[in-house]
Structure 1
Amino acid sequence: MWDWLAALPPAEAMRSGRWLYAWVSAAHVLGIALLVGAIAPLDLRLLGLRRDLPLAPLAALLVPAAATGLALALVSGALLFLAAPGDYGARPLFLAKLGLVALGAGSALALHLGPGLARAAPGRLRLAGAISLGCWLPALAAGRMLAFVD
């Protein structure tokens, strides 16, 4: 399967296009910045910090920014993965990162498709904030460490 992915035209373009790879990498960083930059303050609020800030308007601003960042990070990350699918697919740290991303995104989806921020119990909101921070921050660290760990 890795060989098939590596032979796809986008994979070949990612490997041969120096500037394409650089721009996609920059888009990935932007996506991560939007995602973590928006989700961390919201998660801290869900955990109980700054209760003086109303949750609804804060979420109205931060949730779309985080979702946009996640979409950009996923698309650009998939393109970066195509540059060396066999290498990334064989790395436990990469697989751990993917698991954390899936858990973080799944937890957010469960909250928003379930009771939502406005109707969730305080304990559910604290749990959502803790799971989110416990997924996105290690996923960010794992992604960065991929450049340094074999």
Structure 2
Amino acid sequence: MEALIEMLAASDPAQIMRNGRWTYAAVSGGHVLGIALLIGAIASLDLRLTGLWPTVPVPVLARVLVPVAATGLALAMMSGLLLFMAGPADYLQMRLFLLKLMLIACGTGHAVWFHSTNSFARPNAGLWRVGLLSLLIWLAVLICGRMLAFVD
């Protein structure tokens, strides 16, 4: 594992992230944009699943918001990987970072499971529980990510 961390830290992208002030800022901005797209779309859909805006059909809302959330997740993950490469050993020592990764895996898995069961077609199938759990997971991801700036 240490060899992989050293290899990542010595790679060209890692060097650019550490030494390029504007590059790091641009990638960080892309990360924030990805998070905004992801959380904004997921929160809107999850709030609908919990019962807010009952006149808006869930499948119609999902058709619009799921691609936005997926795009945000992809952007956040790609930019997050580049940010991670700037100091992989430091990040891997932070329990909060590892918790964030675990929560991202849980949130993504939860979304994939939900969409694979085609549960949007069954409006009274306990969707409020699905929406609430998803909302809590992604808010926890957001909090963990933000708190990383304040821990050693």
> TM-score, normalised to structure 2's length?
0.93
Distance in 1 between residues matched to 2:123 and 2:106, nearest whole Å: 19
Question: For residue 96 of structure 1, what is the aligned residue in structure 2?
Answer: 99
Distance in 2 between residues matched to 1:39 and 1:59, nearest whole Å: 9
Q: Please give the root-mean-square deviation of Cα atoms over the aligned residues, in Å.
A: 1.3
Q: How do 1:1-150 and structure 2 match up within 5 A?
A: 1-119=4-122, 122-123=125-126, 125-150=127-152
Give, in angstroms, the shift of residue 116 of structure 1.
4.1
Distance in 1 between residues matched to 2:84 and 2:129, nearest whole Å: 31
Which ranges of structure 2 fall in alignment gaps of 5 or more residues?
none
Distance in 2 between residues matched to 1:57 and 1:13, nearest whole Å: 42
Contact 1:108 1:128 in 2 (8 A): no
What letter is aligned with 1:132? Answer: S
Distance in 2 between residues matched to 1:82 and 1:20, nearest whole Å: 13
Give, in angstroms, the shift of residue 60 of structure 1.
1.1
Give, in angstroms, the shift of residue 114 of structure 1.
2.3
> TM-score, normalised to structure 1's length?
0.94
Distance in 1 between residues matched to 2:33 and 2:147, nearest whole Å: 18
Partner SS, residue 146 of structure 1: helix
